[in-house]
Amino acid sequence: MSDQLADDGAEPVIEAVEVRKTFNHGAVVALDGVTFEVAPQEHVAITGPSGCGKSTLLHLLAALDVPDSGTLRVAGEDVARLERPNEFRRERVGLVFQMHNLLPHLDALGNVGIAMFGTSMGRRERTERAQELLDLVGLDGLGHRRPPELSGGERQRVALARALANRPSVLIADEPTGSLDTGSRRLVLQLLERLRVEEGVTLVVVSHDERVLDAADRVIHLRDGRVVDDEGED
């Protein structure tokens, strides 16, 4: 991590301690004692073979599910004790999925702006923030195009803008380059780094793409629900 971004005295943005998650009444162990920390504005990639627990860990980090045991704190909150997980996701964690999950009947501005519904921002403020974010991700002038009128790379950038709408502490991206061509993949990787610096977010990227892993400060390898390597850890 660059010296400008590192802060050895800062509290971890993510702290996982002996996190365990099972399914089918304990018959399937998805995560088995996972422990790691992520510092503010660090860029961490999580990788491993199919079925290793990557998706389960992502769901826990985003408070879409809770651990069976252990402790998982994200952006200062224990995800197992959240009273309003929807509010937590809206305000603290930005989510980007491989298939974008954009609403096809809304234009790019609308897709970004919808993330701000339920906040204290008025309509004009939401529109201004959405336009600001589209400019940030290089889509100035494309705000009125709907998803079917955008390329795969452009749709992914709209999804990134939407994830940043409420200034989250953590941006979680699930295979953000998986469906992109080489040029779009390069743009998204450059953009993720720029967002980390300019928006101050901590990046957690789940991927098996070697180019994505090379761009990260650290790579956490999972296998059979356990951390088997943490490249870049001091």
Query: Each residue of 144-164: pLDDT tens digit?
Result: 999 999 998 899 889 988 988
Task: Choose between 83 and 99: higher pLDDT.
Answer: 83
Q: Is residue 29 part of a domain?
A: no
Mean pLDDT of 135-141: 88
CA proximity to 58, closest of 78, 24, 31: 31
Query: What total of structural domains would you count in the chain?
Result: 1
Q: Is residue 62 part of a domain?
A: no
CATH of the domain at 123: 3.40.50.300
Contact 218, 44 (CB under 8 A): yes
- DSSP, collapsed to helix, strand or coil, labels residue 136 as helix
Structure tokens at 131: 């336009």
Check whether 33 has a pLDDT greater than 50.
Answer: yes
Predicted local distance difference test score (pLDDT) of residue 188? 82
Non-local (6+) Cβ contacts of 129 within 8 A are: 112, 113, 116, 121, 165
Confidence of residue 234 (pLDDT cuts 50, 70, 90): low
Q: Is residue 15 part of a domain?
A: no
**How much is the pTM?**
0.86
Predicted local distance difference test score (pLDDT) of residue 46? 95
Predicted local distance difference test score (pLDDT) of residue 232? 65
Structure tokens at 29: 């162990």
% pLDDT > 90, the chain:
52
Predicted local distance difference test score (pLDDT) of residue 120? 82
Non-local (6+) Cβ contacts of 147 within 8 A are: 100, 102, 103, 104, 108, 111, 155, 158
Check whether 8 has a pLDDT greater than 80.
Answer: no
Task: Choose between 166 and 106: higher pLDDT.
Answer: 106
Q: Is residue 108 part of a domain?
A: yes
Averaged pLDDT of the chain? 88
Q: Which of 44-48, 103-107, 164-168 has the lowest mean pLDDT?
A: 164-168
Predicted local distance difference test score (pLDDT) of residue 91? 85
Structure tokens at 164: 């940043």
% pLDDT > 70, the chain:
94
Q: Is residue 220 part of a domain?
A: yes
Q: Is residue 213 part of a domain?
A: yes
pLDDT digits (tens, 9 = 90+) for 204-233: 999 988 988 999 999 999 999 999 988 765
Q: Can you give the residue range of the structural domain that contains 134? A: 38-55+85-231
Q: Is residue 94 part of a domain?
A: yes
Mean pLDDT of 40-67: 93
Q: Is residue 23 part of a domain?
A: no
